[in-house]
Amino acid sequence: MIEVIVPGPLCTVQDRGRAGFAHLGIGRSGAADRRAYELANRLVGNHGGEAALEVTFGGLQLRFDRSCLVAITGAPCRTSGHDLGDQQPVAVPAGATVALATPTMGMRTYLAVRGGIAIEPVLGSMSTDLLGGLGQAPLRTGDRLAIGSDPATPFPTAAAPRTPDADEPIGIWPGPRARWFDASAFEALVAAPYTVLPTSNRVGARLRGVGLDRTILRELPSEGLVEGAIQVPADGQPLIFLADHPTTGGYPVIAVVDTAHLSRVAQSRPGENLRFRWLARPRR
């Protein structure tokens, strides 16, 4: 078992999410930075898809009742108690405590344990969906989490090299509502950086920058949304939907973030600037 001593600002259980229920109004959810989540599972030898902990802005403290293999990935942070290093499998003895400090960069750190976190799945997933209210509630002091069965895979020994954060702009594709925007909006979106606001969360990254002008101002009937959709509300300030996004929305989508760049958006922290680049020319 793993006991939560201090949960930090926000710690949730996440896996690959519950795909296939959007037609019922249920979003996928799952790890916000799927690349970091998958790496954490690989480092401890899990088969894939096992539940891990998503730690937002550090502060998590855990006690391990049994010895296990643990790895942390994503936003890099120092650990105290039993040192977990960075992006490497580490054997943690029974009775050890681990504390994660505030990340030096990024927002979300993933902690995987060999065998995975074992809780009751909801609709085939153990992920916490903050918007839909599904799955395990955000962790609290005193919570105890079971560890799943050993995957019977070879014990990994290698550490994964950290890939430097890319400085190039985030790639975006034209959205389905191009004709709702003035031509100047497409240039404005890629001409200057947008700042991530403190009101951002697992539902979406709210941005502040040059307003995006619309040519059609009437209300838009609610329509389907995908992760990475850049929706533009009435104030002209874009919002990028993340893992816990709703399945439908009533504002026009000007662009969609390429899936290869979603991890970068998920790790952006308040005050950070994001730049964009078109991967295809928008057509009105």
Decide if 157 is inside a domain.
no
Same-domain check for residues 118 and 177: no
Same-domain check for residues 178 and 136: no
Same-domain check for residues 122 and 237: no
Decide if 165 is inside a domain.
no
Q: Where are the beta strands (DSSP E) in 164-243?
A: 170-174, 194-196, 204-208, 223-224, 229-231, 239-241
Q: Alpha-carbon torsion 10, 126, 70, 49, what sign?
A: negative
**CA distance readout (Å), 73 to 53, 161, 229, 246:** 11, 11, 25, 27
**CATH code at 251?**
2.40.100.10
- For 8, left (φ over 0), alpha (ψ -120 to 50), or beta? left
Question: pTM of the full predicted structure?
Answer: 0.93
Decide if 153 is inside a domain.
no
Determine contact, residues 67/150, Cβ cutoff 8 Å: no
Same-domain check for residues 185 and 134: no
Decide if 161 is inside a domain.
no
Q: What is the pLDDT of residues 232-272, one digit of tens each?
A: 999 999 999 999 999 888 899 999 999 999 999 999 999 99
Rounded Cα distance between 190 and 81, Å, is 45
Same-domain check for residues 136 and 188: no
Same-domain check for residues 11 and 139: yes
Domain count, the chain: 2
Q: What is the pLDDT of residues 48-89, one digit of tens each?
A: 899 999 999 999 999 999 999 999 999 999 998 888 888 999
Q: Which domain holds residue 103?
A: 2-147
Same-domain check for residues 269 and 175: yes
Same-domain check for residues 132 and 200: no
Same-domain check for residues 129 and 10: yes
User: Is 90 exceeded by the pLDDT of residue 178?
Assistant: no
Same-domain check for residues 9 and 143: yes
Decide if 55 is inside a domain.
yes
Same-domain check for residues 16 and 141: yes
Same-domain check for residues 262 and 216: yes
Rounded Cα distance between 117 and 68, Å, is 12
Decide if 163 is inside a domain.
no
Decide if 152 is inside a domain.
no
- Calculate the CA 21 to chain-centre distance: 19
Q: What is the pLDDT of residues 156-174, one digit of tens each?
A: 878 777 765 667 899 999 9
